[in-house]
Amino acid sequence: MLISETHLKSKLQLKIPGYFVYRQNEVTPQGEAYRGLAVLVKRTLVHQAVEPKRLDTLYALGVDIQVGVGEMRLYAAYRAPSRPLRVQEVRDLLLTAPPTTSTIVAGDLNAKHQAWQNTTSNTTGEQLVRDASAYDYEIAGPREPTRLDPVGPHRDSVLDIVVYRGLRAPPTQEVLTDLPSDHRPVLLVFREPATTTGPPKSLVHTDWATFHQTLAAFERPALVKTPEEVDAAAVEISRSTTDSTARLLKHQAEIRDRQDPLPHLIRKMLEEKREAKKLLATY
């Protein structure tokens, strides 16, 4: 989870169960929190912080995540609209990673261009497009606005974009309308399998008291006299023990994050909620 403009002071904690939090706080000389970045990574993923780079026109916070047999480097990024962007800083974030590392810079760069669904382009957007063409990296934005203008829908814009290099396929992007904000979050989906710290194990519980009761009720074979009868009795005892064990094992559900898609009804309700919010935002 890449978050920009967190507006958090150092004394304030940011905790979400199951996630490790990387933070970069920004404070004015007067002690007011502003801007700021955060990257939240699921604890089951293999990850580590990227050494911070000195940047003059861009804020960036990076984390390396293991995917497949390699790494993916993710940067949460933000550029203040009052500060002209040096596109070389974006390029450096992408090109200083190892050649085998896919790199993503995502966030509100306040860059507009018709290439990512804006009606007009600004200087920053045009500079990024030219630099991407010259240095062979990609820029993509969602199909819907990420920032709602209070003047009206005709002023809405796509400010939150993804700049990337080395991906096997472009990421899919979906603008979410679940939060009551003029800046909408964007769901990114990469076709890169993540490396976890190991699959969760199934927990097994055996009811030994019932097991002993079952064996106590077992009728032993009659007195055996021949080797054949001994073999037959051994087979019968082994079969009874195995059957009793199989019946008494209680497999608990695996402890894991839900990865299956939501039920169709729930997904439909969420879609209706998002459409209603879009309609409300136009009035």
Question: 105-150: per-residue pLDDT in tens?
Answer: 999 999 999 999 899 999 999 999 999 999 999 999 998 899 888 7
280 pLDDT above the threshold of 70: no
pLDDT at 181: 77
**DSSP string for 42-67:** ETTB-EEEPPP---SS-EEEEEEEEE
Query: Across residues 267-274, what is the average pLDDT?
Result: 75
pLDDT at 160: 92
Q: Tell me what percent of the residues of the chain surpass a pLDDT of 90.
A: 36
pLDDT at 195: 56
pLDDT at 90: 96
Q: pLDDT tens-digit profile of 33-65?
A: 888 999 999 999 999 999 988 899 999 999 999
Query: Across residues 248-258, what is the average pLDDT?
Result: 42
198 pLDDT above the threshold of 50: yes
Which domains does the chain carry? 2-198 (3.60.10.10), 204-251 (no CATH)
Which amino acid is located at 75 in the chain? Y
Query: For 98-107, 125-134, 174-183, which range has the lowest pLDDT when averaged over its residues?
Result: 174-183
CA-wise closest residue to 151 among 10, 12, 282: 282
250 pLDDT above the threshold of 80: no
Q: Tell me what percent of the residues of the chain surpass a pLDDT of 70.
A: 78
Higher pLDDT, 209 or 6: 6
Name the band, by pLDDT with cuts 50, 70 and 90, for residue 199: low
pLDDT at 255: 35
Of the segments 35-39, 146-150, 176-180, 246-250, which one has the largest average pLDDT value? 35-39
Helices (H), 85-207: 87-95, 123-135
d(CA 160, CA 141): 7
3-state secondary structure of 228: helix
What's the token pair of residue 142?
């969602």
**DSSP string for 20-45:** EEEEE--B-TTS-B-S-EEEEEETTB
264 pLDDT above the threshold of 60: yes
